[in-house]
């Protein structure tokens, strides 16, 4: 099972409704809504299925679509060096 964690060199500041990230390249990224929830849920112990279930409990939607959308976001974040995936 693959689990997701924040990359060690990403700095995050939880501002309540938003999360401000400082990326490894020194750029800033602001997360809101579902993206902020997803960031908060990533703790190094949750799989894509776990993350999708938790997001689905918070937001209405088709479970398969939520899982697919989160997979796309996690792939994007991994490509930017924001999260790591470990088996």
Q: What is the mean pLDDT of the chain?
A: 94
Cβ–Cβ < 8 Å for 24, 77:
no
Cα(27)–Cα(63) distance, rounded to whole angstroms?
33
Q: What is the CATH number of domain 3-86?
A: 3.90.930
Could you tell me which residues come within 8 angstroms of residue 35 by beta carbon, excluding any fewer than 6 positions away?
19, 73
pLDDT tens digit sequence for 20-58: 999 888 999 999 999 999 999 999 999 999 999 999 999
**Residue ranges per structural domain of the chain:** 3-86
For residue 87, the model assigns a pLDDT of 85
pTM above 0.85, yes or no: yes
Q: Is the pLDDT of residue 84 over 90?
A: yes
Q: Which pLDDT does position 1 carry in this prediction?
A: 87
């Amino acid at each position: 099972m693959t689990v997701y964690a924040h990359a060690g060199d990403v700095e995050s500041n939880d501002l309540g409704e938003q999360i401000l990230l400082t990326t490894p390249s020194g750029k800033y990224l602001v997360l809101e809504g579902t993206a902020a929830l997803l960031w908060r849920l990533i703790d190094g112990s949750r799989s894509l299925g776990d993350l999708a279930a938790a997001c689905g409990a918070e937001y209405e939607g088709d479970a398969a679509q939520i899982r697919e959308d989160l997979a796309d976001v996690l792939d994007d974040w991994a490509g930017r060096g924001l999260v790591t995936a470990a088996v």
